[in-house]
Structure 1
Amino acid sequence: MHINPPDLNSRRARFADWLELLALTSAAGQVSISTLRSQLRRLSDDRTSAKELDVDADDSGEPEVTDRAADDLEERIVEEISLRVETIGSAYPFQLMVNGKLGESQILLRKPTWNEAKTGELFYTFCLLDSGIREDLISVPKAERGFVQRIGNIFQICSCIAVGGYTDAQVVSFGFPRATGDGFLPALQAAWLRYGSYCVRSDIPYGFDAKLKDGGVDIIAWRPFDDGNAATFLMFVQVASGLDWKDKPVANDVKAIKQWFVDGVFEHFVPAICIPFPLWFDLDEPPKDATGKKLPFKNGILRRFVVRESAFGIIFDRGRIANSSARALSAPGGPRAGIDGADRVSEVAAWVDEVMGSLAEKRVAA
């Protein structure tokens, strides 16, 4: 495996991910933000490419345009990383440091606890590596494609723990393939037996595929009352580790699953989705309002969450997964009972270690 630089037209989140990957895999555990400037100069072979990063520039001199573009890019990426530091807190596996007095050269530093699960940093790191592979910031040769094939299962573990940390609920890992090896019908029966109310059919409803995997639902979570009855908080979650996540709102899939019940079924539920990217990773810049007026980037992020909620419900993006996982695992007395996957954190750590090992080997070979 090796790390690829972003192209000139990449959005700020992708550049920030690239710097995080460099800091993560660096022998020194750090990378200078000014690496962006040297990368821009390598890629800016003509005036047009340089101006693409500074659309308001009217300077016809290529070096000046490139310098202005580099200044703008550094400013935007520092803003992005600072936002991550602010919103993710202790679950963010990096620190943004200032090295030296003149020019205040900024350094992105890998924290020594970057792979410790209880703080959530391990989960952020997994999501970063997942995103890097999905967006081709990390090239994976054919001989190592097994890492990619395992991403879905590992992200399922992360997502279950995050959902449990956020909701303080019972969490069933329902996505296919299941650790139990159950088919759809027995898995659905087991989930609702654990819930304690509602009755799942004993046979497959007419018209449904006999080989149905998970029906589009990867996690079922609820927060029970002491009486054990229905009418509780109930959540259904889609776990989407790839770039096609926008095609996977879970609400309609839940409506189909209701047909598998007899003698009454739940009416109300909360839909949710888990993704390994920052929700705004594909946000165009500068963001604009309905009239076309330019907005501060933070306003664009705010609007993105508002818009996506209407389709997906509760959204667990990378930062929220890191924070919520930490909440589940750092509870007094250890991980809270009732969360599927809480006993499988070692599988997350093993995948991260293997990918990091492959990237380290490539760095040494280079």
Structure 2
Amino acid sequence: MPNLALPPESTDELRLADWMELLAILSPDGNSSRGDLESALTTASVFDSQGPDALEEKVLNVFSELESRGFAAEDAYPFSIDGSVLSVKSRIERFVPYIFCLCLSYYRWSTKRNWEIALNPWLLFEELSSAAAAKFLGGDVYRFGTSRSSTESAFKTAVNELCLKLGEGGKFKKRPTLNRQDDKVDLVGWRDFPDKQTSKLLLFGQCAGGSIWTDKVSELQPDAFCNHWMDDPPLSPIIRSFYIPHRVQSTHWDFYARKSGILFDRCRIAYWTWDGDEAITLDSRFKEWYEFIMRVPTAQKKPRKSAKKKTIKKMVKKKLSTKAA
């Protein structure tokens, strides 16, 4: 069995189901079983104080969650379940969207690790979410999130481009201060009628790939965004949407859905980006990132700059300051 430690939340059915899926991917025989889970939980003494019944109930709940994932993602689910065994389907490269989301959710990511690989999983997730929104709508999507961290000029250009493509919104409305980080708009999607007129399906979305996504479900305020940054806000009614690479407890789904609008979890994103979306499945960046994180699951120590380089920098700085004097 591969050396895959149980998640810290070792009683959380969602995290344990993730563990089972990753164990199957990493195993030479391409599967994981009920016995693997029971053995790992027993070795870690997770349920010792609660007795064998608690362990059995937890394992049954984990397999119920796995079956629920297969139902929700349909053919986009990379695994098959046969009794107490979870097996990876053939041609696993077809399931890039699901596996990418699984790894982003399970292993998590910190910007402190950006030096380790020249790929930003947050931006990749934004791309994946945009592809899911486009397929769901059967229309167009404009990726907006990347412009928030850019310059005022880039943000102005992005708003103007969005208004032009959307056919609504007028143009960018200049403000005394530019506080884009509070707007939380990552993508805008719409479905036009042949007449290209206003009054159409319009979707604003926010992506939350981190573990604290529950704190963000109510942040997106598309009407406020449009009123603030567009000189003629869209006439079309706006629907909010929220994208996460995680799974949501079934008992909590309605609670978060009420807060977020249309909720796209891992299975929904995988479902809408799996069938025939070669732009995602053939994009090597997604696979390159999740293969890296499975190979290097924990943060690496960043190498220090050599003392020689630091000395040279100090000498140059001293020389320049002497000349200036």
Aligned residues of 2:96 and 2:280 also touching (Cα < 8 A): no
The letter for the 1-side match of 2:35 is S
**Alpha-carbon distance in 1 for matches of 2:118, 2:38:** 31
3-state SS, counterpart of residue 220 of structure 1: strand
The letter for the 1-side match of 2:252 is R
1:348 is aligned, of 286, 294, 301, to: 286
Higher helix share: 2
**Alpha-carbon distance in 2 for matches of 1:256, 1:161:** 22
Is the counterpart of residue 133 in structure 1 residue 133 in structure 2?
Answer: no
**Alpha-carbon distance in 2 for matches of 1:348, 1:79:** 28
**Alpha-carbon distance in 2 for matches of 1:324, 1:179:** 28
**Alpha-carbon distance in 2 for matches of 1:342, 1:184:** 26
The letter for the 1-side match of 2:155 is F
**Alpha-carbon distance in 1 for matches of 2:14, 2:236:** 39
Structure with the greater relative contact order (CA < 8 A, sep ≥ 6): 1 or 2? 1
2:211 is aligned, of 243, 250, 258, to: 243
1:307 alignment counterpart: 255
2:160 alignment counterpart: 189
2:241 alignment counterpart: 272
2:195 alignment counterpart: 227
Q: Evaluate the alpha carbon distance shift between residue 255 and residue 144 of structure 1 in structure 2; reply closer, same or farther with a 3 A threshold.
A: closer
Q: Evaluate the alpha carbon distance shift between residue 180 and residue 143 of structure 1 in structure 2; reply closer, same or farther with a 3 A threshold.
A: closer
**Alpha-carbon distance in 1 for matches of 2:255, 2:8:** 28
Q: Evaluate the alpha carbon distance shift between residue 243 and residue 266 of structure 1 in structure 2; reply closer, same or farther with a 3 A threshold.
A: farther
**Alpha-carbon distance in 2 for matches of 1:218, 1:8:** 30
Alpha-carbon shift at residue 6 of structure 1 (Å): 2.7
Aligned residues of 2:169 and 2:231 also touching (Cα < 8 A): yes
3-state SS, counterpart of residue 176 of structure 1: helix
Q: Give the alignment of 1:20-35 within 5 angstroms.
A: 20-35=21-36
2:311 alignment counterpart: none
Alpha-carbon shift at residue 41 of structure 1 (Å): 1.8
Alpha-carbon shift at residue 88 of structure 1 (Å): 1.6
Runs of 4+ in structure 1 over 4 Å off: 142-145, 177-182, 341-344, 356-359
Q: Evaluate the alpha carbon distance shift between residue 143 and residue 278 of structure 1 in structure 2; reply closer, same or farther with a 3 A threshold.
A: closer
The letter for the 1-side match of 2:293 is V
Is the counterpart of residue 94 in structure 1 residue 79 in structure 2?
Answer: yes
Q: Evaluate the alpha carbon distance shift between residue 8 and residue 325 of structure 1 in structure 2; reply closer, same or farther with a 3 A threshold.
A: closer
Residue deviations 1:103-125 (CA, integer Å, cap 9, x gap) = xxx22111122221xxxx21110
**Alpha-carbon distance in 2 for matches of 1:41, 1:272:** 40
Count of paired positions: 292
Q: Give the alignment of 1:53-92 within 5 angstroms.
A: 54=50, 65=51, 67-92=52-77
Quote the RMSD (CA, aligned, Å): 3.0
Alpha-carbon shift at residue 151 of structure 1 (Å): 1.4
Residue deviations 1:258-300 (CA, integer Å, cap 9, x gap) = 22222454362000000000122xxxxxxxxxxxxxxxxxxxx
The letter for the 2-side match of 1:345 is D
Is the counterpart of residue 17 in structure 1 residue 26 in structure 2?
Answer: no
> Identity, % of aligned pairs?
25
Alpha-carbon shift at residue 93 of structure 1 (Å): 0.6
Unaligned runs of 5+ in 2: 298-325
Aligned residues of 1:221 and 1:236 also touching (Cα < 8 A): yes
